[in-house]
Amino acid sequence: MSRSFFSSILRVLILVPGVIFTLSFAPALAQDPPVKRIGYLEAGRFWLFDRTFAAFQQALADRPEVGVAYPPDAHHSPGWEPENMARLPELAEKLMRRGDLDLVVGMGTAAVKALLAQNNGHTPILGMGMADPVAAGVVRGVADSGVDNFTCQVIADRWTSMFRVFHDVVRFRKLGILYQNTPEGRVYAALDDARSVASELGFDVLAFGRLSSAETDDECRQGLARLREEGMDAFFIGPLNCFDRETNDVGALLQLLNDWKIPTFARDGSEFVAAGALMGFSTWNFGPTGQFLANQAVAVLNGAKPRSVPMLDRVEPTIAINLETAVRIGFPFPLDVLVVADEIFEHTALPDAWKER
């Protein structure tokens, strides 16, 4: 055989191990990061929960360095009826007992409290959709969750500012509030904040707290009628199921209040103002909220201790007003309010998002 033949064989023998090495390890080098599994618990469906979680999922989808999955059998929403709410501890314990979840989302104060009550001490818990985690006693303060495997978003002084703005514009004497008489119900109604500001500014809070956990339309209508009998001259629209635009005729409730010529403030965004509330917070932009929560989740999924992740989110309140409602109830907006309003609706109309339900 020629020398060139042996040289060719030698070159093959030298190259083959390298080829084998490359073929053996190429798939491993090209693999995507391990998929992180996220569980979910809420007391029941609520439009604010849906929009918050959708924004969170979208923000995570925009972060390709973190692959996530949402196992269907780790997603629980029992419902707002009392017998279903009673299942929260069981479902929370079920999620905390699993060993295959990298993060569990608690949506709403009731769900977060249930998870913390069943906490296994190591599965990270991310709280969302809470009106005021500090007032609810869920966290120790704006800078410390108080629990090593828990974090959430905290917005300081949001509701006290809301009541001050509403009173500064309307100058009401008796503010009506509907709520469910539970710790979570009082927090969602911002009842303590309302009473604190009332004491400071000199108005009364008329609170109707006989709603069930279902917060039905009939219960809310009965409550509104009672508050009217007691002299309510302004009403705060909180995050109640009867004011859930996905499940109830919110426009009819707003029309009722406008027929009574009661000024209203909507906590949850300008879609309520467009539908007939006198004023409220301007468009609730879920994008930044989803991004903030996603940043927290990514930090935790990458190994950060949840308690070390910053919770404070500074959000500047913006205001929307409805001019048609103002005329209808006989309320003239001061000129300075017209100048500083972020959104002005000249006519009342059901938002397109509501028409699609």
Question: Virtual CA dihedral for 46, 52, 53, 56, nearest 10 degrees?
Answer: 180
> Would you say 319 and 279 are in contact if contact means Cβ atoms under 8 Å apart?
yes
Fold match, 36-156+285-308 / 158-284+317-355: yes
pLDDT of residue 223: 98
Q: What residue segments make up the domains of the chain, in order of their start?
A: 36-156+285-308, 158-284+317-355
pLDDT of residue 25: 43
| Residue 100: other Cβ atoms inside 10 A | 9
What is the chain's Cα-based Rg? 26
pLDDT of residue 349: 83
pLDDT of residue 352: 57
pLDDT of residue 315: 73
Class of CATH domain 36-156+285-308: alpha beta
Residue 269 CA from chain centroid, whole number = 12
Alpha carbons 293 and 210: distance in angstroms, whole number: 34
Q: Per-residue pLDDT tens for 100-140?
A: 999 999 999 999 999 999 999 999 999 999 988 998 899 99
Handedness of CA 20, 25, 27, 29 (dihedral sign): negative
* 158-284+317-355 classified as CATH 3.40.50.2300: yes
pLDDT of residue 318: 86
> Would you say 92 and 118 are in contact if contact means Cβ atoms under 8 Å apart?
yes
pLDDT of residue 286: 84
Alpha carbons 178 and 256: distance in angstroms, whole number: 15
pLDDT in tens, the chain (357 residues): 444 444 444 444 444 444 443 444 444 444 566 899 999 999 999 988 999 999 999 999 998 888 999 999 999 999 999 999 999 999 999 999 999 999 999 999 999 999 999 999 999 999 999 988 998 899 999 999 999 999 999 987 888 989 999 999 999 999 999 999 999 899 999 999 999 999 999 999 999 999 999 999 999 999 999 999 999 999 999 999 999 988 889 999 999 999 999 999 999 888 899 999 999 988 667 888 999 999 999 999 999 999 999 999 877 778 999 999 999 999 999 999 999 899 999 999 866 555 544
pLDDT of residue 269: 81
